[in-house]
Amino acid sequence: MIQPKNLNRRDFIKETVVAGALATAFHESSGLTASTPASTEGPIIVGRKVKVALIGCGNVSGSYFPTLVASPHIELVSTCDIIPDRAEQAAKKYGASRHFPHIDQLLAGPAFDLLVNLTDIQQHYQINRLALLASRHIWSEKPLGINYAEAKDLLEIAKAKGVQLLGSPTVVASPQFAFMAQTIRDGKLGRVTAAHASYGHTGPSWSSFFYDKNGGSLFDLGVYSITTLTGLLGPAKAVVAMTGIVTPTRNITGKGDVRVVAEDNAMLIMDHGDGVLSHIQSGFNYYTAREHSDTDPGHHTLSVVGTKGAIHLAGYDWGPHGVDLATRETGGRLERKATEAEGYQWQGGAVKMAEFLATGVRPRFTAPHAAHVAEIIAGAHQSQATGQRIAMTSTFAPMVL
Ligand SMILES: NC(=O)c1ccc[n+]([C@@H]2O[C@H](COP(=O)([O-])OP(=O)(O)OC[C@H]3O[C@@H](n4cnc5c(N)ncnc54)[C@H](O)[C@@H]3O)[C@@H](O)[C@H]2O)c1
């Protein structure tokens, strides 16, 4: 369940008034809004902007840079990419004073507080680790690392160094997630028993790492659904999965045909304890009417079922449009709820991290949750390799159930 101890209503109201945000009547009555922080602490960086460096100036950086440079809390200091031209172009376009071709040079360059890591999935751990050891705060794209051992190592280094570590996805910060969590907490679904989520498209064409060892649809796409469903139903106790490769070669821009090594088709079942089960499917061979776009307001991607009702998320959990709720009270009719974004943006995690450093307002996404999700995905791969049900060793403080 959403932990009441995490809600500091006075600080929350102060924050939202400052931000000019309006809470809806539903949220006012419940005390929970999309912008409700997990907690409010003292600021970590005082009296100046948070100095940010960004590594990995590829596809997703085009969504991140505008949010970073628009933030009043951020000064963009440096960019970095192993393709030097990308770092240079990004530095020019977004006003960073320096650009570098390697993490070592970036760390030795002008001082910065927060590293935003948008590199390939397989590079995250080593880059996060080097930057944490250099006492930098980290915002990492998903996953933190490719298994729990790597993610746990990062958590331990961050703690030892006294720096903050957070990572994508940000899905638990959306108002639609808050509504689903609140609906479950209020008992409107009765006893929650099962959930399902599906996320796929025809696969990225711009980089081969998605199809290389330790890439795959679960780390790129299923990771969102796993974060949402563990957020709503609680940590997984065990997982079973089957994965496959449907398309053995892919044509990648600038590279030609590459062999697909990672799964491009995955089915995962999570056991949340007390008989509660959820199922997630992800893949790089899915027809969807609007491809990877989040513009379809009717498309249900995630459902949670209980003994008295069901909720269906309209749109992807990273860009949701609303929640369709059916209960005995609605006579089984679907009613659309939580239709406002309330400032939520999937690419806004690094800005939320900088705000946290500058104001002490901790976002709702946490590193232990991200580490648990990494263990689930590694467990899915282990289950496929061994045919076994894989017990999870990690947990996190759940907001729901
Ligand atoms: N593209 C999207 O829409 C999207 C959305 C959400 C999350 N993500 C995630 O963001 C990450 C990056 O995805 P992308 O689509 O931008 O990939 P991309 O290939 O377009 O960009 C990755 C960039 O990182 C650089 N890079 C790789 N290794 C490096 C290293 N060791 N040091 C410095 N630079 C390095 C590459 O040269 C490249 O420019 C992945 O984790 C992906 O899952 C992507």
Q: What's the CATH code of the domain at 92?
A: 3.40.50.720
pLDDT one-digit tens code per residue, 24-40: 222 323 344 444 556 67
* H or E element in which residue 74 lies: strand 74-80
Residue 78 has pLDDT above 90, yes or no: yes
Q: Which of 3, 111, 1 is nearest to 362 (CA)?
A: 3
- Going by DSSP bridges, is the β-strand pair 114-117/137-140 parallel, antiparallel, or unpaired? parallel
How many domains does the chain divide into?
2
User: Which residues fall within 8 angstroms of residue 143, CB to CB, at 6 or more apart?
Assistant: 121, 124, 151, 167, 219, 223, 370, 373, 374, 377
Which of 118, 146, 347 has the most ligand 1 atoms within 8 A of CB, as the residue to mutate? 118
pLDDT one-digit tens code per residue, 321-337: 999 999 988 888 999 99
The answer to whether the CB of 120 is under 6 A from ligand 1 is yes
The answer to whether the CB of 216 is under 6 A from ligand 1 is no
Residue 129 has pLDDT above 80, yes or no: yes
Which of 106, 141, 221, 346 has the most ligand 1 atoms within 8 A of CB, as the residue to mutate? 141
pLDDT one-digit tens code per residue, 136-175: 999 999 999 999 999 999 999 999 999 999 999 999 999 9
Q: Which domain holds residue 315?
A: 171-345+364-391
pLDDT one-digit tens code per residue, 263-277: 999 999 999 999 999
**Listed residues 167, 198, 221: the one ending a domain:** 167
Residue 199 in any domain: the answer is: yes
Chain mean pLDDT for the chain: 89
pLDDT at 202: 94
The answer to whether the CB of 141 is under 6 A from ligand 1 is yes
Residue 304 in any domain: the answer is: yes
**Listed residues 114, 143, 167: the one ending a domain:** 167
pLDDT at 290: 66
Which of 54, 55, 57, 59 has the most ligand 1 atoms within 8 A of CB, as the residue to mutate? 59
Residue 368 has pLDDT above 80, yes or no: yes
Return the structure tokens found at 21: 């945000």
Residue 342 has pLDDT above 50, yes or no: yes
Residue 181 in any domain: the answer is: yes
CATH of residue 332: 3.30.360.10
pTM for the complete prediction? Answer: 0.91
